[in-house]
Structures are given as structure tokens and as C-alpha cells.
Structure 1
Amino acid sequence: MSQKVLILSASPRKNGNSDMLCDRFMAGAQDAGNQVEKIRLQEKNIAFCQGCLACQGNGGACVQNDDMAEILEKMIRADVLVMATPIYFYNMDAQLKVLIDRTCPRYTEIANKKAFFIATSWDERREAMDVAIAGFRGFLACLNNVEEAGIICATGVEHGGDIEGKPEMTIAYEMGKTVI
């Protein structure tokens, strides 16, 4: 049965290393017969959460009029979520964190799905990604029955394209193929 896969690429650079891993994951998932959509957060207008909690009293509608309502609807409807980020100062980048914060109006509806995490870092140490992975897991812990299905960590990739030829490219493709 075909799955709806939503890839959320938080790389500010088109064809940056984490974005390229998203494309490989997407190719694998498509080759396995799934419907895949990739959203580049950099190309969307997503404002910071204001913390006003108006969404909690008005049926889950955010008071801000931007692209987040459409993205959140897609997150709810997806069977599989893939969240990808470069590592900045040993954490996920601001684009991904803002997206996570903006799920507040309807986060309880993001349920019954699998989630993957992709991270890239110029640092060679895998531990450089621990805080970002903890943030991803913390987000999943707030959701209903969302299973961590896989994590890809690519280290030592500083400049766009450094990921080419690295084993993580194959890992991303193969992980995408596991979505069935």
C-alpha cells in the first residue's frame, strides 16, 4: 500500500547537504511506490510562534496568516514524516525549530505515523548531533503514536555538495525504500 511521505527540508541552501539527503530518501521512497512531497522551509513564509495560545481556544487555528497552516495540514495527513536539518551550533537550525513550535495549534492531530530525522554537520563527531536528535525525539514524545523510524547523521560535510559520494547518500536511499 502506497504511503504519503512528507519531507520537510530545513536547509537554507537548495542542494545543501541535508537537502541532498532528502532527495535521496525521496528517490528511495518513490522507487518503493510511495507518494512523496518535499517542502523546502526556506521557500515558505513561516513566522515565529507568538505563544499567545489563541489556537487553543479557537479550534486550532493560528492567528498568523502564513504558510504554516497548509504545511501543518500536510503533516497531519501524511503517513510518514521526514525532518531534515543542518546542525548549527550543535542543534537543529532555526527553520526546523520554528516549524516544530508552530505545530502547537494542532500537534495532537499529528498521530499514527512514522518519523525519520536527517542531520548534517561539518563537525566530524557524531556527538555534535546529540542535542538536535534529542530535540527531534522531544517533539515526537509530544505526539500521539508517532514512531521514530530512522535517523541519518552525516558528519564532516561543511560545504554544499560535500555529501556526494558519502555512504549516507546510499543509506538515505535505502531508508527511503523501507517506507512501505
Structure 2
Amino acid sequence: MKVIILSSSPRRKGNSEILCEQFAKGAKEAGHEVEMVNLNDYHMGFCLACEYCRYHNHVCVLKDDANQIIEKIIEADVFVMATPVYFYSLSGQLKTLIDRMFAREYEIRDSEKHKKAYLILTSGSPDVKQMTGIVESFRGFIQVLRKVEEGGIIYGLGAFHKGDALEHPAYKEAYEMGKKI
């Protein structure tokens, strides 16, 4: 299977990226083709709600890097979205990408291909109840796509300082979940 892992943390080698790497390691060991993308390496503008895409064969009026990332999601069998939690919400980078999917969501909805999606989140807070908004945003997004099933959620809670994920139970969980896709 083709797997795309989207890391949205601006902090390189931080907790979210550490868990992404573990997921990737497990998936590669299971024989899957894995690509990891850090959204901070790409320039993405915000959706303009202009609906240009609705009248131009799902082509976005913005000519930036979001389009190539979205193409990777469309081509993948599995996608993983990883985010640090800022103020009990998804990172701005990930939310921007989700909003930009508006132009091409129908390519997933109308496809015969079914996908799985995973969420990796890291937070300094250890309280899973505070993650409800993030999880519901993720679930709402994949529900709109219709052909995407939730594969799992990895909670890297209480991982505040850079590197905390290395000693966190989510470290092993990310590897195991990647291996089982």
C-alpha cells in the first residue's frame, strides 16, 4: 500500500515528527511504500472560498504547493495526519491543508478506492478530554470524504518538551500501528 504521512509541526524532530517516524518505520517494515511530508516545507495559501474549483473541473485558483500534497493524498491508500495541539486545536498548517481539500474532495468521494486515515496528536496536556475538538475535526474531515475509514488515533499526551515522545507509550504504539496497516 501507498502511505503518506503529513507532519504539521513547525518544530523539527519534535514529538509529532518522532511519532510520525515511528509510524513510518512500522509501515515500511510491513512492506508498504511510505512518504513523509512536513507541511512546513511547502507554501500553502488559505482557501479563498471563491468556488473557482466548482466551475473549473476541481482546479484550485491558487497555484501553490497545496495542490501537490493533495495529489499525494488522493493517490495514497493510507494517510496519516500528525499535529501538535495548540490551544486544543489542530495546527494551522494542517487546518489550512484540510480546507484546501475543498477543491478536490470529490476525487476521493467519487473514487472506487477506499482509504484509511490515522491521526497522531501530541500535547503537553495529559488530559484526553481536552483532545475532543481535535479528534472531532479529524473525524468530520474524513466523514466528508466518505470513502475514508478511521484507522486509529495515537495520543502523545503529556509530551511537552522536545523529545518527550521518545519515552512515551505512544512511541511504541505508533510503530505498532504503522506495522498493522
TM-based fold match above 0.5: yes
Shift of 1:110: 2.5
With normalisation by structure 1, the TM-score equals 0.96
In structure 1, which of residues 154, 176, 179 is the aligned counterpart of residue 178 of structure 2? 176
Question: Per-residue displacement from partner, 1:133-174 (whole Å, max 9, x unpaired)?
Answer: 000000011002210010001111112111111110000000
CA contact (8 A) 2:117 2:148 kept: yes
**Matching of residue 27 in structure 1 with residue 25 in structure 2:** yes
In structure 1, which of residues 126, 146, 154 is the aligned counterpart of residue 156 of structure 2? 154
Number of residue pairs matched? 177
Look up the match of 2:122: 120
CA contact (8 A) 2:159 2:168 kept: no
**Matching of residue 143 in structure 1 with residue 145 in structure 2:** yes
**Which segments of structure 1 move beyond 3 Å, counting only runs of 4 or more?**
none
Q: Equivalents in 2 of 1:61, 1:54: separation in Å?
A: 7
Amino acid at match of 1:18: S
Q: Equivalents in 2 of 1:131, 1:124: separation in Å?
A: 15
Q: Equivalents in 2 of 1:26, 1:14: separation in Å?
A: 16
Q: Which runs of 5+ in 2 are unaligned?
A: none
Question: Per-residue displacement from partner, 1:52-77 (whole Å, max 9, x unpaired)?
Answer: 01011000111111101111111100
For the aligned residue pairs, the C-alpha RMSD in angstroms reads 0.8
Aligned-pair identity in percent equals 47
Q: Equivalents in 2 of 1:127, 1:43: separation in Å?
A: 32
Query: Where do 1:1-180 residues align within 5 Å?
Result: 3-111=1-109, 112-179=114-181
After superposing the two structures, state which structure 1 stretch, 147-156 or 105-114, moved more.
105-114
